Amino acid sequence: MIIPTVLEKDFKKVKEKIKLVEDYVKWVQLDIMDGVFVNNETWNKPQRINTKVKLEAHLMVQNPEKIIDDWLKIVDRIIIHFESTKEVKKIIDKVHKKKKQIGLALNPETDIAAATPFLKDLDLVLIMTIQPGWGGQELKPWTLDKVKFLRKKWKGDIQVDGGVNNENIKKIRKAGANLICVGTYIFSKKDIKKAIESLK
């Protein structure tokens, strides 16, 4: 599944980008950054968005447990970073109590073993294939080894995010990822529909 990622500082642009893709996909990812956990800041005030797609919030923020309640009101899935909190299990339980999905993201340098204690409770694991914070980076090929390793031991959803395009997507799929986040490649094209089709 292709999941367009929206990384914007302005709420109006967030809504515009969702409108551009909502006829062609089932999910859209909102990239939420606080300027602390990563060296960038995006729109990060939860506001309801009228759309036909499901939304997931990728919280690239320090201590996501402090803001998670507000995001749970407007999205269907929350993704937190292992490196950003000491309360992973508490957050997982809270999100599931609200009948929403929860994913755990791992930065490129974080060993896949970090996710192991939580696998039975997670809806997805997100393997970052770039350093989080900025769009337009090149995918780090060695991160796909983590995808392969995880796929051998886990049948759940594996998401990949960072540097995806129509040239490397086959390798990503072959490694075992089934949810593939794409931002720059999609939104840099004039024909959005064609760009998404080329990835599929």
Q: Which residues are catalytic?
A: 31, 161
The rounded distance, in Å, linking the Cα atoms of 193 and 120 is 36
Q: Which residues pair with 41 in a beta bridge?
A: 34
Two tokens, residue 33: 């950054």
Whether the Cβ atoms of residue 72 and residue 100 lie closer than 8 Å to each other: yes
The rounded distance, in Å, linking the Cα atoms of 136 and 164 is 9
Query: What letter does residue 41 receive in the DSSP assignment?
Result: B
The rounded distance, in Å, linking the Cα atoms of 129 and 107 is 8
SS (H, E, C) 99-139: CCEEEEEECCCCCHHHHHHHHHHCCEEEEECCCCCCCCCCC
